[in-house]
Chain A
Amino acid sequence: DARVTQTPRHKVTEMGQEVTMRCQPILGHNTVFWYRQTMMQGLELLAYFRNRAPLDDSGMPKDRFSAEMPDATLATLKIQPSEPRDSAVYFCASGLVLTSGGKTGELFFGEGSRLTVL
Chain B
Amino acid sequence: GQNIDQPTEMTATEGAIVQINCTYQTSGFNGLFWYQQHAGEAPTFLSYNVLDGLEEKGRFSSFLSRSKGYSYLLLKELQMKDSASYLCAVSDDNYGQNFVFGPGTRLSVLP
Residues of A within 8 A of B30 (CB): 104
Residue pair B42, A111 in contact (C-beta under 8 Å): yes
Q: Is the CB of B87 within 8 A of A43?
A: yes
The A19-34 residues at the B interface (CB cut-off 8 A) are: 31, 33
Chain A residues with CB under 8 Å of chain B are: 31, 33, 35, 42-43, 45, 48, 50, 55-56, 91, 93, 95, 97, 99, 103-104, 106-112
Are the CB atoms of A42 and B103 closer together than 8 Å?
Answer: yes
Task: Give the chain B neighbours of A108 by CB distance below 8 A.
Answer: 45
A91 near B42: Cβ-Cβ < 8 Å: yes
Asked if B24 is an interface residue, CB under 8 A from chain A, the answer is: no
CB atoms of B99 and A42 under 8 A apart: no
Judge whether B98 is part of the interface by a CB distance below 8 angstroms: yes
Closest CB-CB distance, A31 to chain B, in whole Å? 8
Q: Beyond A43-B87, A107-B45, A109-B43, is A99–B99 a contact (Cβ under 8 Å)?
A: no
Question: Which of B's residues lie within 8 Å of A, judged by CB?
Answer: 30-31, 33, 41-45, 48, 50, 87, 89, 91, 94-104
- Grouping DSSP codes into helix (H, G, I), strand (E, B) and loop, the B interface class, with mixed when no group exceeds half, is loop
List 16 contacting pairs A-B, 8 Å CB cutoff, sorted by A.
Answer: A42-B87, A43-B43, A43-B101, A48-B99, A56-B98, A91-B43, A93-B99, A97-B96, A99-B97, A103-B48, A103-B50, A104-B31, A106-B48, A109-B43, A110-B42, A112-B42
- Contact, CB under 8 Å: B50 / A35: no
Whether A99 lies near B44 (C-beta < 8 A) is no
User: Are B50 and A50 neighbours in the complex by a CB distance under 8 Å?
Assistant: no
A56 to B91, CA, bound (A): 14
Q: Which residues of A contact B89 (CB under 8 A)?
A: 107
Q: Which of A33, A43, A45, A109 has the most CB of B within 10 A?
A: A43
Q: Give 9 A-B pairs besides A99-B96, A103-B50, A104-B30 with Cβ atoms closer than 8 angstroms.
A: A43-B87, A55-B98, A56-B94, A97-B96, A99-B97, A104-B31, A104-B50, A107-B45, A112-B42
